[in-house]
Amino acid sequence: MNITEKILARASGKNNVSPDDVVFANVDKAMIHDVSGPGVIKVFEKLAKQGISVDKLWDPSKIWVAEDHFVPSADKVSAENIVQLSKFTKKYGIEKHFKYGMGQYGICHTLSHEEAMVLPGEVYVGGDSHTNTTGALGAFACGLGHTDVAYVLLNGKIWFKVPETYYFKLNGKLSEHVMAKDFILRIIGDIGTEGCAYRAMQFGGTGINEMSVEERLTLTNMTTEAGAKNGIIAPDQKIFDYLGARGAKNFTPVYDDANNEYAKIFEYEASELEPLVAKPYSPENVAAARDISSIELDKAYIGSCTGAKLEDLRAVAKILKGRKVKIRTEILPAAISIYKKALDEGLVSIFLDAGVTIGPPTCGACCGAHMGVLAKDEVCVSTTNRNFPGRMGHVESKTYLASPLVAAASAVTGKITDPRDLK
């Protein structure tokens, strides 16, 4: 069995599982946020009206809540959602509630690793499609809908069809101008947004071994854009050190069996990769940054679970130091802990000196809700993960997905720019 299969086998009390098997698996951790949480609460209310008990949760200590999509509250509905979440966590005794403006908070898929909320070998589900992110730590992590999440919160288990696994091998080491974002865009460009529909995407090879933990998280984050059930990477010492520095202990990593076989294997050479951009209106609409350098921009957005980790901000600072941006540029660190480290390292000063606007951790602009939405005909280069019509604002705006390096270089020139061409 491979990693995904072994985790699901353990969670369902089975010695072996195979692709297409249906298992009823115990869940180790579950998450809701200010968008999915109110939906789950409505399911609870519906169940109660049907006479089904919703008096207590399976295990409040294994459930956590993030406020990230509509904070700071953009309207009355958003504000009410936050109130609903607070009442819910108080009622059910959920102590891990990361509240906006109350110390550490941030984007849920960042907190999952920043706070070591999820550990290798675990089954982790969340009320958000990019829950896949945390698979980079060696966990089975996936998003679920409101009804399924409600069931998990009440029962601590849920059914899964065991996915077949596609293996993506990267040989060599990425060059200094190429990031994990470029690699995952290359993959999605090759296989399409449905290329891994209900499959596991497992990454490995020397190129993955060379990657930092935060770069690996970018890969698994965007397995969602390939249609995958989950993304996963075998944990190594880098993962153990990363989690250990955040207080994690007593976890059991899982690895492929020696005789494991994958449904398909895709192999890439790091030396052949270059800075890429996903053109509107799909992550699969991929082009080399150099090939579309005539595209003029109105805005650069550096944020989200995909592109505002600490290493992302460090990469941006290398580009912006001593330079000025030519277009409206916003940088929103993905968590308060990251924001503080960026302050301590002098990154924030570099951003401000470059003319950048710095905002709080939020998903607002990424999901086109607030904190910098796009107007009609505006063109944006963004470190986010989706660019379908209306994703970041007006349905007739355009978003080009790119790495933090490409986004920063483009902010300096006002056009899509390969960082190698920045003068």
Model pLDDT for residues 335-393, shown as the tens digit of each residue: 999 999 999 999 999 999 999 999 999 999 999 999 999 999 999 999 999 999 999 99
Amino acid at position 196, single letter: C
Please report the sign of the dihedral spanned by the C-alpha atoms of residue 358, residue 363, residue 364, residue 368: positive
Torsion (CA) 343, 345, 349, 352 in degrees, nearest 10: -70
Q: Considering the chain, what is the average pLDDT of its residues?
A: 97
> Rounded CA gap, 386 and 221, in Å?
11
Angle, helix 237-244 to helix 213-221, in steps of 10 degrees = 100
Which structural domains are found in the chain, ordered by start?
3-253+260-267 (3.30.499.10), 277-421 (3.30.499.10)
Q: Supply the pLDDT for residue 172.
A: 98
Q: Supply the pLDDT for residue 68.
A: 95
CA 120 to chain centre: 17
Residue 74 pLDDT > 90, yes or no?
no
> Edge to edge, what strands does the sheet with 264-269 contain?
230-233, 200-204, 165-171, 264-269
Average pLDDT over residues 390-401: 97
Average pLDDT over residues 245-261: 95
What backbone phi and psi angles, to 5 degrees, belong to 71? -115, 140
Q: Are 167 and 268 in contact (CB under 8 A)?
A: no
Residue 137 pLDDT > 90, yes or no?
yes
CA 343 to chain centre: 23
Residue 4 pLDDT > 90, yes or no?
yes
User: For residue range 151-185, what is the model confidence (pLDDT) as tens digits?
Assistant: 999 999 999 999 999 999 999 999 999 999 999 99
Q: Are 232 and 135 in contact (CB under 8 A)?
A: yes
Query: How many residues are present in the chain?
Result: 423
> Rounded CA gap, 208 and 218, in Å?
12
Residue 125 pLDDT > 90, yes or no?
yes
Q: In the 8-state DSSP scheme, what is residue 373?
A: P
Q: Which neighbouring-strand residues pair with 381?
A: 300, 400
Q: Are 149 and 124 in contact (CB under 8 A)?
A: no
- Kindly report whether the global pTM for this prediction surpasses the value 0.95: yes
Residue 423 pLDDT > 90, yes or no?
no
Q: Which neighbouring-strand residues pair with 169?
A: 204, 267
> Rounded CA gap, 40 and 12, in Å?
24
Q: Is 202 helix (H, G, I), strand (E, B) or coil?
A: strand
> Rounded CA gap, 121 and 11, in Å?
9
Q: What percent of the chain has pLDDT over 90?
A: 99
Q: Supply the pLDDT for residue 241.
A: 97
Q: Supply the pLDDT for residue 411.
A: 98
Average pLDDT over residues 274-284: 98
> Rounded CA gap, 167 and 164, in Å?
10
Q: Supply the pLDDT for residue 360.
A: 95
> Rounded CA gap, 223 and 231, in Å?
6
Local confidence band at 35 (pLDDT 50, 70, 90 cut-offs): very high
Average pLDDT over residues 313-328: 98
User: For residue range 187-237, what is the model confidence (pLDDT) as tens digits?
Assistant: 999 999 999 999 999 999 999 999 999 999 999 999 999 999 999 999 999
- Show the CA angle centred on residue 232, arms to residues 29 and 249, nearest 5°: 50
Average pLDDT over residues 38-60: 97
